[in-house]
Structure 1
Amino acid sequence: MQEKSNLKNQIDEIPHSDDVDNLEDLEEHEEDDHQTKVKGKRPISNSSNHPTIQAKMCKNKGQFEENKKKVRDITVEKFARWIYDAGIPFNVVKYDSFEPCIEAIEQFGSGMKPPSYHEVRVMYLKELANTNSLLKSHEEDHAKFGCTIMADGWTDKKSRTLINFLVNGPKGSVFVESVDASGYSHIADKMFELLSKFVYRIGEKNMVQIVTNNASCNISAGHLLENRFPHLYWTPCVAHCLDLLLEDIFKIHLKKLHERALMVNGYIYNRPQVLSMMREFTGQRDMVKTAKTHFATAFLTLKRFHVQQPNLRKMFTSEKWANSRFSKEAIGKRVAEVILMHPFWKNMVFVLRVGDPLVKVLRLVDDEKRSPMGYIYESMDRAKEAITVSFNNNEEKYRSIFELIDKRWNIQLHRPLHAAGYFLSPECFYSNFDIENDTEVMEGLYKRIARLVRGEDLQDKITNQLEKYKKAEGLFGLPLAIRQRTLKSPEIDDSNEWLLGKLDDSDKDNDNDFVYEEEINLDDETEEEDTDGYKSSDGADDVDLDNEDEKDDYFDI
């Protein structure tokens, strides 16, 4: 009660707007410079122009603005305290429905009684009409511009295989239905029938593509769908393709590094005392940073290991570790050997040089706000260029990695829709006119037109308009259209601008990125020997340190 009384007193001290001269009148008086003429006498100035009156009005106006700011500060403070107390996420203030809510409260004025529990839970829980209205606007856009069905499979705590079906269009994604596919999720024919059901439900004429993961049954079902529906594409999920590519790199070329990192990480996090010791040496920093895909998480964890390398080495050579019971255990000794093993850190640098550009492409394509379809070609090319530069153009060091990338690209990632999106992206096309000489891209573009556009007359019309697009004629050449070329791209920030050629130097990571957290300089990799004389117990170090330059250029980074 005391708090309410104090708040009331604070607000009561602030003059009401009615007690202050009307602001519109003040502005009119300030702008009114005319003089009133009196017959037979000299002109008499309007009383509002009198210096004393003007000073008073300016003072009242300034006081009003200052008091208004005080009221807002008090109101926002109370609102924020409610958010903290209720544990509501901060991003609720970004919702489209938030601003109309505040405006409605403002229009009501003082004395509004807060909504009751019953009102919120029962009386006003009538969202069906609003939802149907929203869905109707989405459906109208789907019929006009086309849409995409997305099948997102996952496993719940009861080990059931559930598939969420969503429809994506110009206004965003809409959830359709969740299906329990535990009994047939690995059977191609069953998945084909299930996907066909949703094509008919959404409307075949409205469909552009269906996106699923890259499971073998989904690939087969996708091909069957394209045969049944001649104007529809099946497209594998790009994020899943890139995660599989990272898995190939880890398991085929860096299997031992991956196993050692898992062993060290598991050992530390399964022993609370060792975990506490690690946090003490790393400044309360953790080694694990989760991401939206499994191997992006693995990559990020290795990156954190690299950043904390000096602190981890200090920990396992410290008195505190030596005096602990863990240093006497066989597994503890093995973990210490790995941490102090030079090849472990050197191979980690190799992973970062290869994986860093690829995970940034993954971050770009995982954007949920804008479609990155037109940037997949360009981003993959730039990722490969970044890997090449990181190895000083020494093809021997990255040839096997490029073979894995090309294999995934040719089999799964290279799709006509991606090629067409690349050509029709104004930012990409007008910055590189050689695109129209790229056979792969042009073939994908014309294949897409032939498959998606019904009717030869319409296909011919689009082909003719492409010539205006290429030459930036008509609407494409207007100043407004030229300015918009770079404004309709996906959400680009400092962590992935390099993918579109916007940065000349290395990128800068920030703490809020989905995949990245700390910036590292791979060129500063230390070359010092292990001072404590540890050697791999399995006698199979990844690098022969005595003949490093001659025998192991693969890891000479």
Structure 2
Amino acid sequence: MLRGGSRDKLGKALANWFHANDIPGRKADCPYFRSAIKLAQECGQGVHIPSGKELDGKFLDMNYEDMEAHMAKFKDDWKEYDVIVMCDSWTGPTMMCIINFMVYCNERMFFHKSINATGRVQNAEFIYDCIREVVVDEIGVKNVIQIVTDNGSNYKKACWQLITRYLHITWQPCAAHTINLMLKDISCFSEVSEVVDDAKRICTFFYNHNRLHAMMREKIGGELIRWNATRFGTVFIFLQSFWDRQDKFMQWMVCDDWKNNAWKDEADHAFTYDCLLNRRWWSDMELVLNAVTPIYTVLRYMLINKKMQL
């Protein structure tokens, strides 16, 4: 029998557990968490809470067995619907390099395996051996109709060797990676690189001084979105964050806080002032953004769309 305030008591208890273990509150939206709470409500009193040893022991084994059974059903579809193998390499902050393999079949995708490539030369021969092991030895070459990888020359050469040997298999470069390389080429044009370099110089000036950075946040109402050296689409997101605050930047440049700040004698101070009050500079930025927006929109759609896109 529920009493008044029961939901608040439950919420408070769960919040204590979440926050004590540094778990973000959004994890409460996980369907597995919600189903576990619902099952606990159905079980009622008298059921002992599983220990940590049990969770990491027999219950983990039970879930693993369930997943194995689910995977067995998934593998049964391989012969009927065929398989697309997706390969992606990733390097973490500790410079550990992992090559991941995913399998797509009948509108479902599963993680297949990962290979630790740390310390290995990822040339075409090494990539070919990795892909061939997955396609031929593990999945079965008769079940595979397509391989999707990034657009690097090592992957191109490796996949070319494979598809010339197994003619029914096609190779498809990752569309997101291809568009990222297109944006890289676009950023090399002088009309683009000049605007980007100017904006980076201004941004670096702001962020190199704590007080100036704090003043910037106050004047423009937030942060600038920083760029990523390997994700060239982020360069144009960075420019967009400038463009969206054009009026606030210009207002800041003509106020006394800017004219009389502690960095007024630095060269970057004058450079920032000249750029952010220059209508021509803003027009050049608008031209760049208008040129790349259609391409970036496609890239963003592919990266955030949850439905699997081939």
Counterpart secondary structure, 1:327: coil
Match of 1:297 in 2: 234
Which deviations, in whole Å up to 9, do the C-alpha atoms of 1:372-404 show, x marking residues without a partner? 33xxxxxxxxxxxxxxxxxxxxxxxxxxxxxxx
| CA positional deviation for 1:214 | 0.9
Distance 2:271 2:201 in 1: 9
Query: 1:211 aligns to what SS in structure 2?
Result: strand
1:239-258, aligned counterparts within 5 Å?
A: 239-252=176-189, 253-258=191-196
Cα distance, 1:224 vs structure 2: 1.6
Q: Which structure's CA Rg is the greater one?
A: 1
Is 1:352 the equivalent of 2:289? yes
Amino acid at match of 1:168: Y
Deviations 1:153-185 (A, max 9, x none): 122334354322222333223141223164331
In structure 2, runs of 5+ residues without a counterpart are none
Letter in 2 for 1:225: L
1:88 aligns with 2:34: no
Report if aligned partners of 1:209, 1:234 keep a CA contact under 8 Å in 2: yes
> RMSD value over aligned CA atoms?
2.6
Label 1:139 to 1:314 Cα distance change in 2 as closer, same or farther (>3 A): same
Q: Is the 8 A contact 1:162 1:182 kept in 2?
A: no
Q: Describe how 1:477-488 pairs up with structure 2 within 5 A.
A: none
**1:251–1:258: 8 Å Cα contact kept in structure 2?**
no
Give the 3 Å change call, closer, same or farther, for CA 68–147 of structure 1 in structure 2.
farther
Shift in Å at residue 308 of structure 1? Answer: 0.9
Alpha-carbon contact 2:98-2:114 (below 8 Å) kept: no
Which position in structure 2 is the counterpart of 1:115?
50
Relative to structure 1, is the Cα distance of residues 287 and 113 closer, same or farther in structure 2, using a 3 angstrom cutoff?
A: same
Question: Does residue 262 of the first structure (1) align with residue 200 of the second (2)?
Answer: yes
Q: Distance in 1 between matches of 2:305 and 2:102?
A: 13
- 1:140 aligned residue (73, 76, 83): 76
The amino acid that maps onto 1:222 is C
State the SS of the aligned residue for 1:366: helix
Tell me which residue corresponds to 2:38: 103
Contact 2:102–2:109 under 8 Å retained in 1: no
Q: Deviation per CA, 1:347-385: give whole Å up to 9, x if none.
A: 111122122222111122224631233xxxxxxxxxxxx
Residue of 201, 206, 216 corresponding to 2:143:
206
Q: Identity percentage over the alignment?
A: 25
**Do the aligned partners of residues 297 and 364 (structure 1) sit closer, same or farther apart at CA in structure 2, a change above 3 Å counting?**
same
Where in structure 1 are there 5+ consecutive unaligned residues? 1-15, 17-66, 374-557
CA offsets 1:442-491 (integer angstroms, 9 cap, x no match): xxxxxxxxxxxxxxxxxxxxxxxxxxxxxxxxxxxxxxxxxxxxxxxxxx
* 2:60 partner SS: coil
Partner of 2:100: 164
SS in 2 for 1:166: strand
Indicate how the Cα distance of structure 1 residues 143 and 182 shifts in structure 2: closer, same or farther if over 3 A, else same: farther
Match of 1:460 in 2: none
For 1:75, the equivalent position in structure 2 comes to 10
Q: Does 1:195 align with 2:131?
A: yes
Greater shift after overlay, 130-139 or 212-221? Answer: 130-139
Equivalent residue, structure 1, for 2:277: 340
SS at match of 1:328: coil
CA deviation after TM superposition for structure 1 residue 278, in Å: 0.2
Q: What displacement does 1:147 show?
A: 2.2
Q: Tell me the SS of whatever aligns to 2:95.
A: coil
From 296, 317, 331, give the equivalent of 2:254. 317
Instruction: Tell me how far apart the structure 2 counterparts of residues 262 and 243 of structure 1 sit (CA, whole Å).
Output: 19
Partner of 1:286: 223
Say how many residue pairs are matched.
306
Inter-CA distance 255–290: structure 2 relative to 1 (3 Å threshold): closer
TM-score by length of 2: 0.87
Letter in 1 for 2:87: A
1:197 and 1:70 map into 2 onto residues whose CA distance is: 58
- Change in Cα spacing, 1:91 to 1:234, as seen in structure 2 (3 Å) is farther
Q: Which moved more, 1:304-313 or 1:359-368?
A: 359-368
Between the aligned partners of 1:292 and 1:230, the Cα distance in structure 2 is 37
> What SS class does the counterpart of residue 120 from structure 2 fall into?
coil
Which structure 2 residues correspond to residues 458-537 of structure 1 after superposition, within 5 A? none
Specify the alignment match of 1:361 in structure 2.
298
Change (3 A) 1:179 1:228: farther
Q: Give the AA of the match of 1:145.
A: Y
What is the deviation of 1:193? 2.5
- 1:251: how far off? 1.4
Residue 341 (structure 1) shift: 2.3
Tell me: CA distance 1:101–1:125, structure 2 relative to 1, closer, same or farther (3 Å).
same
Q: 2 CA distance for matches of 1:254 and 1:343?
A: 14
Q: Aligned runs of 1:175-186 on 2, under 5 Å?
A: 175-180=112-117, 182-185=119-122
Deviations 1:42-69 (A, max 9, x none): xxxxxxxxxxxxxxxxxxxxxxxxx678
Equivalent-residue separation in structure 2 for 1:70 and 1:292 (angstroms): 51
Distance in structure 1 (CA, Å) of the matches to 2:308 and 2:227: 24
- SS state at 2:77 partner: helix
- The verdict on how the C-alpha distance between 1:76 and 1:140 changes in structure 2, with shifts beyond 3 A counting, is farther
Q: CA deviation at 1:77?
A: 4.7
8 Å CA contact retained: 2:79, 2:143: yes
The answer on whether the counterparts of 1:364 and 1:372 sit within 8 Å (CA) in structure 2 is no
TM-fit CA distance, 1:289: 5.6
Q: 5 Å matches for 1:9-88? A: 16=1, 71-88=6-23
Q: TM-score, normalised to structure 1's length?
A: 0.51
Contact 1:184 1:191 in 2 (8 A): no
Matches of 2:42 and 2:302 in 1, distance apart? Answer: 42
Distance in 2, Cα, partners of 1:160 & 1:177: 12
Deviation at 1:245, TM superposition (A): 1.3
Distance 2:49 2:229 in 1: 39
Query: Which of 153, 175, 178 is the matching residue for 1:216?
Result: 153
